[in-house]
Structure 1
């Protein structure tokens, strides 16, 4: 049986993968799909793809676009979540910061350079007309646990992360959320290493078929809101709101959308050049 390694964040977005694995759907097709949780997010997954630790990744659009342009030998093969990611902007509960303007020029906690928390800090800065050179400072905290410690111990001042994932930390008084910053593009894509795709195209297609069968009808799975609430320790009403805002995709990201991502990353000086569509995405 062919072992294939895939990485993703351990969050509610990826429950569809867990359900397929639990039901033995991949093994039924002769694929031993091994899921790896990446608590460090997109930057850690980019490293995993480069090193060959994983063959595929469910990854933030902006992060993988940046990393492919910087030499990651991978390609985007599908949009996974078509709706934007809503990034909550968080400070420590005891912090004196009350508004987004208050955190201008302070220290943003980021999981690592090139991660979503890093790149979206630039988007937030641009949205608020900050000086991208003077008003952004970064403190690497590795993951969500590191952000809790970093903000609590005053090693960093604010932290951007998906708002529903961090909602329990807001509810229990660890963080305060002072604003939101939706990503200006579809948030998650599926990427694969080029060399792996060349030799395992049929298996990759099968994997996409299986997960797409789950996501296309995901919201209609009986009691899916309760399942997510219990598994990810979230309030039921928060899960229901998240489900109402989230749309999955079974299609490859289109050329215009990918151009928009590159245009914005280029304007923010996050990427130094823009690539042709065919160099970033591959239709199976």
Structure 2
């Protein structure tokens, strides 16, 4: 049985993987797929791909594109979630900050440099015409628990994270969400180490076929809204709203989208160059 390591964030987007694993669908195809939760998000998964700790990552589009350009020996093989990620802009509940303009020049909490929370802080700043050199400052807080501690204790002033994931923290009076900042592209892709693509293409195709069958009918699974609400401790109405907004994909990200992401990252001075589509993607 072929052992394959895969990583992703422990969030509702990835429930389809949990369901297929629980059903033993990979083992039925002689694949021992092992899921690893990455609470540190994209930056932590980029490191895990580089180190060979995981073979596959379900990862933010902008983060993996940046890291492949920076030398990560991996490629995008498919879009996973087609719709943009809606990032909430959060402050501590008792903070004096009332709107995004109040945050200009203050300190953003980020899970790590190169992470989605880091890159989206730039997008948010650009959206509000801030000076990217003068008006951005960062505090590394590792993960969502670190952000709760960092904002509550005043180590940082604001934090961008997926708004439905943080909704229970907002509802509990720990965070206050003062704005939303959607990513201007599909949010999650599936990235795979080049070595694994070269040596295990058939297993990779099998894995993608299984997950794609589940995501294509995900919204039709009986009581899926209640399952998500219970598993991720979210309100049913929030889950239903999220399901209404979210579309999965079963195809490779297209060239135009990849170029748009790169143009944005290049304009923000996050990547040093724009590279060919083929350097970032692999069509199975």
Check if 1:163 corresponds to 2:142. Answer: no
- Residue 204 of structure 1 deviates from its aligned partner by 0.4
- Number of the residue aligned with 2:122: 122
- Number of the residue aligned with 2:21: 21
The correspondence of residues 187-266 of structure 1 with structure 2, limited to 5 A, is 187-266=187-266
- TM-score normalised to the size of structure 1? 1.00
- Residue 196 of structure 1 deviates from its aligned partner by 1.1
- Number of the residue aligned with 1:56: 56
Return the alpha-carbon distance in structure 1 between the equivalents of residues 124 and 63 of structure 2: 16
- Residue 41 of structure 1 deviates from its aligned partner by 0.1
- Residue 280 of structure 1 deviates from its aligned partner by 0.4
Return the alpha-carbon distance in structure 2 between the equivalents of residues 258 and 62 of structure 1: 9
- Number of the residue aligned with 1:183: 183
The correspondence of residues 94-173 of structure 1 with structure 2, limited to 5 A, is 94-173=94-173
Return the alpha-carbon distance in structure 2 between the equivalents of residues 127 and 272 of structure 1: 21
- Residue 281 of structure 1 deviates from its aligned partner by 0.3
- Residue 238 of structure 1 deviates from its aligned partner by 0.1
- Residue 125 of structure 1 deviates from its aligned partner by 0.3
Q: Structure 2 unaligned segments of length 5 or more: list them.
A: none
SS at 2:10 equivalent: coil
Return the alpha-carbon distance in structure 1 between the equivalents of residues 150 and 77 of structure 2: 36
SS at 2:260 equivalent: helix
Return the alpha-carbon distance in structure 2 between the equivalents of residues 141 and 14 of structure 1: 23
Return the alpha-carbon distance in structure 2 between the equivalents of residues 68 and 123 of structure 1: 20
Return the alpha-carbon distance in structure 1 between the equivalents of residues 98 and 202 of structure 2: 52
- Residue 241 of structure 1 deviates from its aligned partner by 0.3
Query: What does the per-residue CA deviation read over 1:106-141, in whole Å, with 9 as the maximum and x for residues that have no partner?
Result: 000000000000000000000000000000000000
Return the alpha-carbon distance in structure 2 between the equivalents of residues 256 and 275 of structure 1: 13
SS at 1:124 equivalent: helix
- RMSD after superposition: 0.3
SS at 1:189 equivalent: strand
Query: What does the per-residue CA deviation read over 1:209-267, in whole Å, with 9 as the maximum and x for residues that have no partner?
Result: 00000000000000000000000000000000000000000000000000000000000
Return the alpha-carbon distance in structure 2 between the equivalents of residues 248 and 105 of structure 1: 36
Q: Structure 1 unaligned segments of length 5 or more: list them.
A: none
Q: 4+ residue runs of structure 1 moved beyond 6 angstroms?
A: none
Query: What does the per-residue CA deviation read over 1:4-29, in whole Å, with 9 as the maximum and x for residues that have no partner?
Result: 00000000000000000000000000
- Number of the residue aligned with 1:83: 83
Return the alpha-carbon distance in structure 1 between the equivalents of residues 251 and 215 of structure 2: 12
SS at 1:77 equivalent: strand
Return the alpha-carbon distance in structure 2 between the equivalents of residues 215 and 104 of structure 1: 39
Equivalent pairs, count? 284
